[in-house]
């Protein structure tokens, strides 16, 4: 893959990447779980849209909607199947890719005619899967098919997400060198900024101090384009805008698990603010473009925090159920426990295979495969960088003679405080191998073949190693984790340990959702417009109601000065780092019970939602009556018990019910 002219880093092709260890286990759970059984998530899954010329859109929210949802799954399933070595899953997704490409219109347009004049956003999602197949095979027919598509007709700018075609156009430009593709991308991006100058993702708005309130997915999908446009055209204003835009986002909306709030719009950063599971994928994908444009390690740090914490924290660990909305503090998760104003009182926080709106059950499948696809980056000097750390390997050609090289990351990171790289060139070859020193790590050390590297390892940077590499070379990077105290609104505190957020796991009483609450919600939302579909139910894929069975209402008795006294117990017997019963580590912390801090029980609530009334679909505020139990906010003036106890925190990703942000005792 070629680099855009102003990029600092660029991902390596997917065909050279292999997972291992816990990442391989994660992908296999995906393949055996929801990714390989997506039909249990309900319509439009289990129906072909890109894989047929007769898409069944009757009763869908809009004509474009099922093409977006199913494209998410196709992209994630194709990458997951390839990386996990699951040929059946890979082929299932590839069939839809190949059908769409092979059945393009005479002029080259791919997809239904209903998307010609507007709503081209689903193409940007689907074409990522087409380009993934190009990366896997090197078959230029996929590239040429997409080029013909974009040349087939003028690209519409009917709504804000139509601009996301810029991402695909720039990929095609970097691979083909065809100047008209860059011109199309520049024109489309310029039209967006002229048409929506006050959009949170517009260049001028990102440069301003305006707080973001945009839909989270929309912000990330559009904002990242400025980084791509900089890489292609070199306009510094684009780079300055996107860097400042994400600095604002982190300052105003970042949550304890590493992801910003988006419920569904960007909001705040309290213990009860939450994020849409879709944005796990979209935010990390966007950050990867900032990493490519700047070469700054902080964006890789952020990607790891989201993937190691927010991602596993939003799913059951067998990958058979997910939350639509997930939260740092969630002490009760049921069919009526969503405490967010948006869809309050509904099951949107419940762990289940289906949800009323189907974007998250599709987008989730892309998160881990996308992370693995960005682990390794090419550098501008022709070398390679280990950008993200996890077990796995890379096969690549390096040096003037394009010598085949395999680099293997032997590690359990982030469940281990070191990464060892085995470098195996086919013959001796000189290149630069750069390693990321995380911003949180002040005590990193590095050795090559057992000999210490005598150089300053600056936190938040990439350290280059240039030498002639020979078979059997071993690079070892020690990354001692450090405990840190994070402060949040309402005098909340949380703990991190290296890249891991820590949380108090709450023992849960688990009940299967016998009411089929998602179907009930869809019927209530659509009323007479509801279109019943054949429902695929599998007993191993239930929805869950989780109620707390252990104490959770604690205040932490710790401050920055006391962090040195905390004990971290690493568990060498840990087999599955996402197993809360046998986690990779525990941190013992002194705490005191908070009197009166309990679950909120309401019978009448205000909800911002959607419903159908007299045949008209409506959105807005309404009053609902029922029996609702919600996670409480942090107490304003906590009343603390006298007794000091010791509680154990574990990695956030191993939890379902949890407290992450505590009052300070």
Domain identity same for 459 and 532: no
575 and 432 in a common domain? no
State the pLDDT at residue 616. Answer: 85
Domain boundary among 423, 453, 478: 478
Which one, of 229, 131, 238, lies nearest residue 183 by Cα? 229
User: Does 393 score more than 80 pLDDT?
Assistant: yes
Of the three residues 425, 460, 478, the one that is the final residue of a domain is: 478
pLDDT tens-place string over residues 475-519:
999 999 999 999 999 999 999 999 999 999 999 999 999 989 999
In the chain, the percentage of residues whose pLDDT exceeds 90 is 94
Do 655 and 529 fall into the same domain? yes
> Exposed, middle or buried: residue 564 (CB in 10 Å: 0-12, 13-18, 19+)?
exposed
Any domain includes 285: no
Q: Are residues 380 and 516 in the same domain?
A: no
Q: Give a yes or no: residue 162 inside a domain.
A: no
Nearest to 99 by CA among 55, 62, 46: 55
- Separation between Cα atoms, residue 89 and residue 249, nearest integer Å: 36
| Total count of domains within the chain | 2
Same structural domain, 464 and 531: no
Q: Does 125 reside within a domain?
A: no
pLDDT of residue 617: 86
Average pLDDT over residues 4-33: 97
- Backbone φ and ψ for 655, nearest 5 degrees, come out as -100, 160
* CB of 589 closer than 8 Å to CB of 557: yes
Based on the domain organization, do 587 and 623 belong to the same domain? Answer: yes
- Is the pLDDT at 472 greater than 80? The verdict is yes
Band of residue 529 on the pLDDT scale cut at 50, 70, 90: confident
3-state helix, strand, coil in the chain (%, to 5): 35, 25, 40
pLDDT for res 60: 75
Q: Mean pLDDT of all residues in the chain?
A: 96
597 — pLDDT class (breaks 50, 70, 90): very high
Confidence band, pLDDT 50/70/90 cuts, at residue 61: confident
Would the pLDDT of 523 be above 90?
no
Structure confidence at residue 293 as a pLDDT band (50, 70, 90): very high
Share of the chain above pLDDT 70, in %: 100
Q: Is 543 inside a domain boundary?
A: yes
Do residues 416 and 533 both lie within one domain?
no
pLDDT at 55 over 90: no
Structure confidence by residue, pLDDT tens digits, 433-452: 999 999 999 999 999 999 99
CATH code for position 452 = 2.60.40.1180
- pLDDT for the residue numbered 2: 79
Q: Which pLDDT score, from 0 to 100, does residue 1 have? A: 65
Q: Which residue among 478, 496, 516 closes a domain?
A: 478
Residue 472 sits in the same domain as residue 552? no
Q: Is residue 364 part of a domain?
A: no
Does residue 101 form part of some domain? Answer: no
Does residue 152 carry a pLDDT above 80? yes
pLDDT band at 455 (very low <50, low <70, confident <90, very high): very high
227 with 290: CB under 8 angstroms? Answer: yes
655 pLDDT more than 80: yes
Output the six-digit token pair for 128: 């990522």
Same domain, 458 and 407: yes
List the helix and strand counts (H, then E) for the chain: 16, 28
Average pLDDT over residues 387-397: 98
544 with 604, same domain?
A: yes
pLDDT score of 661 more than 90: yes
Residue 244 lies in a domain: no
Q: What is the pLDDT of residue 532?
A: 83
- Residues with Cβ within 8 Å of residue 331, at least 6 apart in sequence: 506, 548, 552, 599, 631, 632, 657, 658, 659
Q: Which domain range does residue 498 map to? A: 483-663
* ω into 264 cis (within 30 of 0): yes
Whether the CB-CB separation of 503 and 649 falls below 8 Å is answered with yes
Q: Tens of pLDDT along 363-382?
A: 999 999 999 999 999 999 99
- Residue 255 forms part of a structural domain: no
CA torsion sign for 258, 261, 262, 265 is negative
Question: Contact, 245 vs 299, CB < 8 A?
Answer: no
Task: Give mean pLDDT, residues 633-655.
Answer: 97
Residue 547 shares a structural domain with residue 634: yes
Average of per-residue pLDDT across 630-654: 97
Does one domain contain both 544 and 659?
A: yes
pTM, entire model: 0.97
Compute the distance between CA of residue 594 and CA of residue 600 in angstroms, rounded to an integer. 15
Strands (E), 274-326: 275-276, 325-326
Q: Is the pLDDT of residue 6 over 70?
A: yes
Is the model's pLDDT at 282 over the cut of 90?
Answer: yes
35 neighbors 76 (Cβ within 8 angstroms): yes
Tell me the pLDDT tens digit for each residue of 605-626.
999 999 988 888 889 999 999 9
């Amino acid at each position: 893959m070629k680099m855009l002219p102003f990029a600092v880093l660029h991902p390596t092709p997917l065909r050279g990447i292999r997972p291992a260890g816990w990442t391989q286990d994660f992908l296999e759970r995906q393949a055996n779980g929801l990714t390989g059984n997506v039909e249990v998530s309900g319509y439009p899954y289990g129906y072909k849209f890109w894989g047929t010329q007769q898409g069944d859109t009757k009763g869908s929210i809009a004509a474009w909607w099922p093409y977006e949802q199913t494209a998410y799954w196709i992209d994630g399933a194709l990458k997951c199947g390839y990386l996990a070595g699951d040929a059946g899953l890979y082929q299932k997704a590839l069939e839809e890719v190949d059908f769409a490409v092979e059945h393009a219109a005479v002029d080259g347009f791919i997809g239904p005619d209903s998307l010609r004049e507007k709503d081209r956003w689903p193409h940007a999602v689907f074409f990522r899967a087409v380009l993934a197949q190009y990366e896997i095979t090197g078959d230029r027919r996929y590239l040429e098919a997409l080029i013909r598509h974009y040349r087939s007709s003028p690209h519409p700018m009917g709504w804000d997400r139509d601009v996301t075609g810029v991402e695909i156009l720039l990929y095609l430009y970097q691979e083909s060198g065809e100047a008209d593709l860059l011109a199309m991308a520049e024109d489309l991006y310029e039209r967006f900024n002229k048409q929506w100058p006050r959009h949170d993702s517009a260049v001028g708005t990102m440069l301003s101090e305006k707080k973001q309130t945009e839909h989270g997915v929309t912000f990330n999908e559009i904002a990242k384009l400025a980084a791509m446009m900089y890489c292609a055209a070199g306009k510094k204003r684009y780079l300055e805008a996107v860097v400042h835009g994400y600095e604002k986002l982190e300052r105003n909306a970042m949550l304890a698990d590493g992801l910003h709030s988006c419920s569904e719009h960007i909001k705040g950063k309290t213990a009860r603010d939450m994020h849409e599971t879709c944005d796990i994928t979209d935010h990390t994908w966007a950050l990867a473009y900032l990493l490519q444009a700047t070469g700054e390690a902080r964006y890789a740090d952020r990607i790891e925090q989201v993937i190691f914490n927010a991602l596993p924290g939003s799913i059951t660990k067998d990958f058979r159920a997910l939350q639509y909305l997930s939260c740092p503090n969630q002490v009760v998760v049921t069919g009526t426990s969503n405490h967010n104003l948006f869809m309050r009182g509904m099951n949107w926080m419940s762990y289940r295979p289906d949800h009323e709106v189907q974007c998250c059950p599709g987008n989730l499948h892309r998160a881990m495969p996308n992370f693995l696809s960005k682990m390794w980056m090419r550098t501008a000097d022709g070398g390679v960088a280990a950008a993200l750390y996890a077990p796995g390997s890379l096969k690549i050609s390096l040096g003037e003679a394009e010598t085949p090289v395999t680099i293997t990351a032997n590690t359990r990171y982030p469940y281990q405080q070191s990464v060892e790289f085995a470098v195996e060139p086919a013959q001796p070859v000189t290149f630069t191998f750069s390693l990321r020193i995380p911003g949180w790590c002040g005590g990193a050390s590095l050795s090559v073949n057992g000999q210490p590297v005598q150089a300053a390892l600056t936190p938040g940077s990439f350290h280059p190693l240039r030498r002639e590499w020979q078979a059997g070379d071993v690079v070892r990077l020690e990354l001692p984790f450090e405990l840190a105290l994070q402060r949040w609104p309402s005098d909340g505190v949380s703990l991190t340990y290296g890249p891991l957020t820590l949380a108090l796991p709450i023992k849960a009483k688990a009940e299967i959702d016998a009411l089929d609450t998602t179907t009930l919600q869809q019927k209530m939302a659509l009323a007479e417009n509801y279109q019943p579909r054949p429902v695929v139910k599998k007993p191993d894929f239930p929805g869950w109601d989780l109620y707390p069975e252990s104490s959770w209402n604690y205040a932490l008795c710790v401050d920055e000065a006391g962090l040195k006294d905390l004990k971290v117990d690493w568990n060498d017997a840990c087999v599955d780092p996402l197993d809360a019963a046998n986690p990779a580590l525990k941190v013992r912390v002194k705490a005191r019970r908070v009197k009166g801090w309990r679950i909120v029980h309401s019978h009448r609530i205000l909800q911002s939602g959607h419903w159908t009334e007299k045949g008209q679909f409506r959105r807005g505020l309404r009053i609902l009556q029922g029996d609702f139990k919600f996670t409480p906010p942090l107490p304003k003036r906590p009343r603390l018990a006298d007794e000091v106890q010791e509680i154990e925190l574990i990695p956030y990703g191993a939890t379902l019910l949890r407290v992450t942000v505590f009052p300070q005792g």
